[in-house]
A and B are shown apart, each in its own frame.
Chain A
């Protein structure tokens, strides 16, 4: 791979998926793309990149874009977002949506499905507190390959042991040989769609909660700001945005404000101010501390 070819690849990935590839990532490119070079019979990385440059091989383009994504995920990742979900978001929205009795949740980088399924399990566990409610979870990702796996809901013994309490494994999974499959009922709770966050998502409509975790970290500041700005438009003022542990809105957008005392949780500026008067006290931010009462 020549420096020129590497530069082309950088621009290609930045434009197509938002991924920022720093110049020290040659090894990563090689380990991810050599298998594609072999399976596509192009043999070398240079040949792969030259084919991309000609712009005539859609399948190869998709394969390269998907191969360069990092798909790691696990059940109840970082734990606190799911505590916030049960203890802060659901109680607040239970009141705010009392007449509509409907909740729409979007996992905007769902990867292999652990995040939407963890939310599904939370909803199931809290179901008695939401009698007659309709809840919808949408999982989207750029990569069709991970979405296929998410849809199947089939996980290895290693995957079900990272973050998933054993009681939840017994309750929500069926053993399939040496794999574990999340139950058909849980699978029916989630809808899956392919979606590139660089492209418009207005057609998805409005959501009450958006989980967009561990994907913005791969993008540059401009792309992050731009996506956050558009995410704000999919949420009402009292909706919630959840970012990954290493992500924030600070310095990127004025559309969201951190919810005081709740790491990784954000609301639209207006909502937080409206709810708290002038001084933003953690106690008042989202009706926190009330718990999830019937």
Chain B
């Protein structure tokens, strides 16, 4: 079973994402901010990360930049999932090493389409 780390400060979003991803046969771990996510990755590198942008403590972009600099941090497939939906944000995320980008609001079909796009399913 592939592992997906869901990073979002909203427990509602984490719950929705968990439900969708579990149906897609992923094993889910959760983090509430970038720092928690980084700690989680240091203990076990997941196969995929669904990543919010705006979060307290450490935001998504900062997390991604740190992750990509870690040992083995290039391996997880990172899919941003955020309300930031302008070209500038998307381009910054891609440059920082994001593999795909979901603009909120999202639904099951979009998550499936994007995960398929990056070869996770």
Contact = CB atoms under 8 A, between A and B. Distances in A.
Interface string A146-175: 000000000001100111011101100001
Contacts of B110: 158, 161-162
A131 B109 CA distance: 38
Contact of B106 (A161, A165, A178): A161
B103 A175 contact: no
B101 interface: yes
Given A162-B109, A163-B113, A175 B87 contact: yes
B102 A161 contact: yes
A161 B113 CA distance: 8
B121 interface: no
A170 B90 contact: yes
Nearest to A160: B103
Interface in B81-117: 85-87, 90-91, 94, 100-103, 106-107, 109-110, 113-114, 116-117
Interface range for B: 10 to 19
Contact of B117 (A157, A165, A170, A175): A165
Given A162-B113, A165-B100, A157 B85 contact: yes
Contacts of A175: 86-87
A169 B109 CA distance: 17
Contacts of B109: 162
Contacts of B86: 175
Contacts of B94: 166-167, 170
Contacts of A166: 90, 94, 100-101
B85 to A, nearest CB: 7
Interface string A100-122: 00000000000000000000000
Contacts of A178: 85
A170 B91 contact: yes
B10 to A, nearest CB: 19
A161 B117 CA distance: 10
Contacts of A158: 107, 110
Contacts of B91: 170
B103 A157 contact: yes
Contacts of A161: 102-103, 106, 110, 113-114
Interface of B: 85-87, 90-91, 94, 100-103, 106-107, 109-110, 113-114, 116-117
27 contacts: A79-B116, A157-B85, A157-B103, A158-B107, A158-B110, A161-B102, A161-B103, A161-B113, A161-B114, A162-B109, A162-B110, A162-B113, A163-B113, A163-B117, A165-B100, A165-B117, A166-B90, A166-B94, A166-B100, A166-B101, A167-B94, A169-B90, A170-B87, A170-B90, A170-B91, A170-B94, A175-B86
Complex A-B, nearest 9 residue pairs according to Cβ-Cβ distance, in ascending order: A166-B101, A161-B110, A162-B113, A157-B103, A165-B117, A166-B100, A175-B87, A163-B113, A162-B109
Given A161-B110, A163-B117, A165-B100, 13 more contacts: A79-B116, A157-B103, A158-B110, A161-B102, A161-B113, A162-B113, A166-B90, A166-B100, A166-B101, A167-B94, A170-B87, A175-B86, A175-B87
